[in-house]
């Protein structure tokens, strides 16, 4: 069976003998790392083990690529990456690899950080960033004891959004899209607070908001596609049906879906 040493040897050989691989650098590979990570995430979402195995290999390729290039620059080697990982994981589990008492990881990390956001990537998706910021705050005790507090906070923020909509109702263009004017900023702030509160409720309930939203997106797309299929089968002009008839198709799509489960 192939070993990690075999993959390293292959990567070094590719750097030596493949023109494309030899031309790459850390910067040029950044898009590929992001793309491969998303493809692995898709495989996990689809629960496709064969695809997951393949995509894990592609992510590993990126790790090897960067490690070998760093090795060529005498910056560090893959063994240093492995050593750093082992050191970090043992540090996260002092009760397993030492004689320290068990302690939450965020609490351990908070002792070393100079700010709440330190170490969080600037490009981290907003929902995930909100979850991580809340996690970190909870690590030092700034958290509700259960879901009751976050649930009430969502209701409070929703009331503020509704109040803002009453005070400054949005204007709409002929296509039905909201016009961005001076009222937009205050409404954006209130809706941002509501989203942040919903993420906190998700976190406290043991649900990751980005995963929950991903599943909701898939469900909406699936049902909407079913609506279109029903309309096509009946010879209906889907784009011009109007909201009332579209709502009925939506309910029909939901009923069909429930019957198939």
Q: How far is the C-alpha of 253 from the C-alpha of 238, rounded, in Å?
A: 14
Angle between helices 184-204 and 126-139 (to 10 degrees): 60
CATH 2.60.40.1840 correct for 4-103: no
Measure the CA–CA gap between 69 and 89, rounded to whole angstroms.
25
Mean pLDDT, residues 224-236 taken together: 95
8 A C-beta contact, residue 168 and residue 187: yes
SS3 172: strand
- DSSP, collapsed to helix, strand or coil, labels residue 178 as strand
Q: Which of 125-139, 151-165, 175-189 has the lowest mean pLDDT?
A: 175-189
Q: Is the pLDDT of residue 63 over 90?
A: yes
Backbone angles phi, psi at 179, to 5 degrees: -85, 130
Cα 87 from Cα 10, distance rounded (Å): 27
How far is it, in rounded angstroms, from Cα 205 to Cα 3? 40
* Every domain of the chain and the residues it spans: 4-103, 144-206, 211-260
On the question of pLDDT at 243 being above 90, the answer is: yes
Task: Give me the phi and psi of 107, to 5 degrees please.
Answer: -70, -40
Looking at residue 100, the DSSP 8-state letter turns out to be: S
Distance CA 257, CA 149 (A): 35
pLDDT bracket for residue 16 (50, 70, 90): very high
Q: What is the mean pLDDT of the chain?
A: 92
SS3 readout for 103-159: CCHHHHHHCCCCCCCCCCCCCCCHHHHHHHHHHHHHHCCCCCCCCHHHHHHHHHHHH
pLDDT > 90? residue 59: yes
Q: How confident is the model at residue 132 (pLDDT cuts 50, 70, 90)?
A: very high
Tokens 């109007």 found at: 242
pTM over 0.85: no
For 38-51, the pLDDT digits (tens) are 999 999 999 999 99
Query: Do residues 136 and 171 touch, judged by C-beta distance below 8 A?
Result: no
d(CA 220, CA 43): 20
Structure tokens at 67: 């490690």
Contacts for 191-196: CB closer than 8 Å, 24+ residues apart: 191/161, 193/157, 193/160, 194/154, 194/157, 194/158, 194/160, 194/161, 195/127, 195/130, 196/130, 196/157
Q: What is the pLDDT of residue 146?
A: 96
For the chain, the helix, strand and coil percentages under 3-state DSSP, each to the nearest 5:
70, 0, 30
Task: Give the total residue count for the chain.
Answer: 261
Residue 90 corresponds to which tokens in the numbers above?
Answer: 């043992």
Digit-coded pLDDT (tens) for 73-115: 999 999 999 999 999 899 888 889 988 878 777 777 777 778 8
pLDDT at 242: 94
What are the pLDDT digits (tens) for 163-216?
999 998 888 888 888 887 777 888 899 999 999 999 999 999 999 999 899 999
């Amino acid at each position: 069976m192939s070993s990690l040493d075999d993959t390293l040897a292959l990567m070094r050989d590719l750097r030596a003998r493949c023109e494309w691989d030899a031309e790459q650098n850390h910067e040029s590979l950044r898009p590929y790392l992001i793309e491969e990570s998303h493809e692995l995430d898709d495989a996990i979402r689809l629960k496709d083990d064969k695809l997951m195995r393949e995509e894990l290999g592609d992510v590993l390729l990126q790790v090897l690529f960067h490690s070998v290039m760093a090795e060529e620059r005498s910056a560090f080697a893959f063994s240093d990456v492995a050593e750093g990982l082992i050191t970090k994981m043992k540090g996260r589990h002092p009760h397993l690899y030492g004689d320290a008492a068990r302690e939450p990881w965020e609490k351990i990390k908070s002792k070393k950080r100079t700010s709440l956001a330190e170490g969080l990537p600037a490009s981290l998706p907003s929902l995930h960033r909100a979850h991580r910021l809340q996690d970190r705050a909870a690590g030092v005790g700034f958290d509700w004891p259960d879901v009751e507090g976050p649930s009430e906070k969502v209701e409070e923020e929703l009331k503020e959004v509704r109040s803002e909509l009453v005070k400054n109702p949005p204007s709409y263009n002929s296509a039905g899209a909201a016009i961005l004017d001076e009222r937009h900023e205050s409404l954006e702030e209130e809706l941002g607070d509501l989203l942040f509160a919903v993420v906190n409720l998700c976190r406290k309930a043991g649900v990751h908001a980005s995963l929950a939203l991903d599943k909701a997106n898939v469900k909406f797309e699936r049902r909407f596609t079913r609506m279109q299929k029903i309309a096509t089968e009946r010879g209906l002009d889907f784009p011009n049906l109007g909201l009332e008839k579209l709502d009925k198709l939506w309910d029909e799509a939901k009923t069909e879906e429930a019957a198939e489960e």
